[in-house]
């Protein structure tokens, strides 16, 4: 009975590790975003990009961003053009509204955390 139990535990560890490795290797982690305030005039968020993580498409408005943890993000536009944007820890940057949507990806080995205030446009 002990031998059977030990065999089952060993097999589950072997195959469980294999499944876990496949899951981590096969998926790109998404960003996580906390909305800290949302009103008619602006939105405040804290966004974390894990290494290799990002978002499929974004077209942010006029915004001010402070890097809580810095790093480099790669923007990829629909036409294939790529652009690197580097944030240093503590840096504050104003960015005008984007003219075209783009995807973002953290190209570094550590997470990036950004605190952003986005101005909402009236329609």
pLDDT for the residue numbered 27: 64
pLDDT for the residue numbered 26: 55
Distance CA 65, CA 108 (A): 19
52 and 106 Cβ atoms separated by less than 8 Å? yes
pLDDT for the residue numbered 115: 98
Burial status of residue 63 (CB atoms within 10 A of its CB: 0-12, 13-18, 19 or more): buried
Phi, psi at residue 6, to the nearest 5°? -65, -40
Burial status of residue 114 (CB atoms within 10 A of its CB: 0-12, 13-18, 19 or more): buried
Q: Which of 97, 99, 47 is nearest to 78 (CA)?
A: 99
- Print the SS3 string covering 73-107: EEEEECCCCEEEEEECCCCEEEECCCCCCEEEEEC
pLDDT digits (tens, 9 = 90+) for 48-101: 999 999 998 887 789 999 999 999 999 999 899 999 999 999 999 999 988 888
Per the structure block, which two tokens stand in for 88? 């240093």
pLDDT for the residue numbered 25: 53
Query: Is residue 2 very low, low, confident or very high in pLDDT (cuts 50, 70, 90)?
Result: very low
């Amino acid at each position: 009975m002990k031998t059977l139990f030990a065999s089952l535990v060993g097999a589950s560890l072997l195959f469980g590790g294999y499944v876990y490795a496949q899951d981590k290797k096969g998926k790109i982690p998404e960003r996580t975003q906390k909305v800290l305030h949302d009103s008619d005039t602006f939105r405040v968020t804290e966004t974390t990009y894990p290494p290799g993580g990002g978002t499929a498409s974004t077209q942010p408005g006029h915004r001010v961003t402070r890097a809580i943890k810095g790093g480099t993000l790669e923007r990829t536009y629909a036409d294939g053009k790529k652009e690197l944007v580097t944030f240093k820890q503590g840096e504050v940057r104003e960015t005008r509204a984007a003219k075209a949507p783009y995807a973002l990806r953290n190209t570094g080995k550590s997470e990036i955390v950004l605190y952003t205030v986005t101005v909402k446009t009236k329609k």
